[in-house]
């Protein structure tokens, strides 16, 4: 058997006529950037999340960066981020001239450990960026309590959590702002790069929209210096089609996760856990195994494509060497990074394939 890690072609096949028509519709109008199609998607996605404003961008990293800027973050400020996430989260902080301050992750849920946030807050701290890692919401009640106690802004990184729910509210509705990525492999993926910024505040939305469009309020009305980060009409058209299926696709991911968990239950594999009240949308299905690298080699040799998200926690990466972080500073991230293994996960994965992955993994360990 040959089992891909994700299968975007299989998904395309299920909605091909609609996607083809949507793309053809864009070619017919020759309006390729921003415009009506993008507005349509922005409105639909804002409604889906339950936030007033949605602004399309070029990608999810830009979304974080522009929102940080719009929220007033700059040099001299510190922004708290989790130690284990994709580098965009901290990269965006550095890009606006602020400093990322890493906090270790929770040993069971892998999202930011809220009990370790307060010790990192200084007079320069201005914001927290929780990441709903792998599709599981961070502990937003505790996080929002800490943020309001210390008067910090919260920007949710929802790049992996489209449709995830924490205590009856979707991720993206808790903080002052939220960033989304529609990178092709995400739960809601475009056919190229795309992202979005969401918020309820009118002024923040206006500022973020201007920053992503050369500081223009209206055509040629440049009120500030901005940059170019806009959503393509074709990506918006694709995303509008795919948004209708997002909830059903997430349910399929949850079913696949349940199947995996049932089959691996009585083994030494540590399974992902979902706290009561949270809806995990399994952007990734991440297990932990001892001797991970050996298990990974066996799986790959038997045709099972896996991933590691992420092999090195951010504080240990070269760009952050200036922090002089050692494993003792982030003990959970340091241990978890050597054990995590992402198994194939996509809505179209069959039970038969899941069974094969589990059997192979059991043999490998």
Ligand X SMILES: *Cc1c(COP(=O)(O)O)cnc(C)c1O
Part in contact with ligand X (CB under 6 A); list of ranges 31-39, 157-165, 249-257, 319-327: 157-165
Contacts 24+ apart (CB under 8 A), 259-265: 259/351, 259/354, 260/285, 260/287, 260/343, 260/354, 260/357, 260/358, 263/354, 263/355, 263/358, 264/358, 264/361, 264/362
- When binding is defined by CB under 6 A, the residue of 160, 171, 240, 360 that contacts ligand X is 160
304: tokens are 């099972």
For residues 114 and 229, which CB has a smaller minimum distance to ligand X in the complex? 229
For residues 147 and 190, which CB has a smaller minimum distance to ligand X in the complex? 190
253: tokens are 């991911």
235 belongs to the binding site for ligand X (CB under 6 A): no
- When binding is defined by CB under 6 A, the residue of 41, 45, 48, 86 that contacts ligand X is 86
Site string for ligand X, 45-84 (x = CB under 6 A): --------------xxx-----------------------
CA distance 99 to 260: 39
Site size for ligand X (CB under 6 A): 15
- When binding is defined by CB under 6 A, the residue of 77, 90, 114, 181 that contacts ligand X is 181
175 belongs to the binding site for ligand X (CB under 6 A): no
90 belongs to the binding site for ligand X (CB under 6 A): no
Selection from 251, 45, 49 nearest residue 169 by Cα: 49
- When binding is defined by CB under 6 A, the residue of 22, 131, 263, 354 that contacts ligand X is 131
- When binding is defined by CB under 6 A, the residue of 157, 187, 259, 332 that contacts ligand X is 157
Site string for ligand X, 255-294 (x = CB under 6 A): ----------------------------------------
- When binding is defined by CB under 6 A, the residue of 11, 77, 88, 250 that contacts ligand X is 88
175: preceding bond cis by omega (within 30 degrees): no
For residues 132 and 259, which CB has a smaller minimum distance to ligand X in the complex? 132
For residues 229 and 360, which CB has a smaller minimum distance to ligand X in the complex? 229
- Name the residue with tokens 């003792």: 328
Residue numbers at the binding site for ligand X (CB under 6 A)? 59-61, 85-86, 88-89, 131, 157, 159-160, 181, 183, 193, 195
């Amino acid at each position: 058997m040959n089992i891909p890690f994700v299968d975007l072609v299989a998904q395309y096949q299920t909605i091909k006529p609609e996607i083809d028509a949507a793309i053809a519709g864009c070619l017919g109008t020759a309006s390729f950037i921003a415009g009506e199609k993008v507005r349509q998607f922005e409105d639909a996605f804002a409604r889906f999340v339950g936030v007033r404003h949605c602004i399309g961008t070029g990608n999810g990293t830009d979304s974080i960066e522009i929102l940080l800027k719009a929220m007033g973050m700059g040099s001299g400020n510190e922004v708290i981020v989790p130690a284990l996430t994709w580098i965009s989260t901290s990269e965006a902080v550095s890009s606006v001239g602020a400093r990322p301050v890493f906090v270790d992750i929770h040993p069971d849920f892998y999202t930011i450990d809220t009990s370790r946030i307060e010790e990192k807050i200084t007079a320069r701290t201005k914001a927290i960026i929780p990441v709903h890692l792998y599709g599981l919401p961070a502990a937003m009640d505790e996080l929002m309590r800490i943020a309001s106690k210390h008067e910090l802004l919260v920007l949710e990184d929802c790049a992996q959590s489209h449709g995830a729910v924490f205590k009856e509210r979707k991720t993206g509705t808790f903080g002052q702002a939220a960033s989304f990525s529609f990178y092709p492999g995400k739960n809601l993926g475009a056919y190229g790069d795309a992202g979005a910024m969401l918020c309820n505040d009118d002024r923040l939305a206006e500022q973020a929209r201007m920053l992503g469009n050369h500081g223009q309020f209206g055509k040629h009305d440049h009120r500030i210096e901005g940059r170019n980060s806009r959503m393509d009409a074709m990506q918006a058209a694709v995303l509008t089609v795919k948004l209708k299926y997002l909830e059903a696709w997430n349910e399929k991911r949850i079913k696949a996760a349940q199947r995996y968990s049932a089959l691996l239950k009585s083994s030494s594999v540590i399974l992902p856990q979902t706290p009561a009240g949270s809806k995990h949308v399994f952007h990734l299905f991440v297990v932990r195994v001892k001797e991970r690298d050996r298990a990974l080699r066996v799986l790959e040799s038997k045709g099972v494509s896996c991933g590691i998200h992420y092999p090195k926690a951010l504080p240990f990466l070269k760009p952050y060497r200036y922090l002089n972080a050692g494993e003792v500073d982030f003990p959970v991230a340091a241990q978890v990074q050597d054990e995590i293994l992402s198994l194939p996960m996509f809505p179209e994965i069959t039970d038969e394939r899941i069974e094969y992955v589990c059997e192979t993994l059991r043999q490998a360990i």
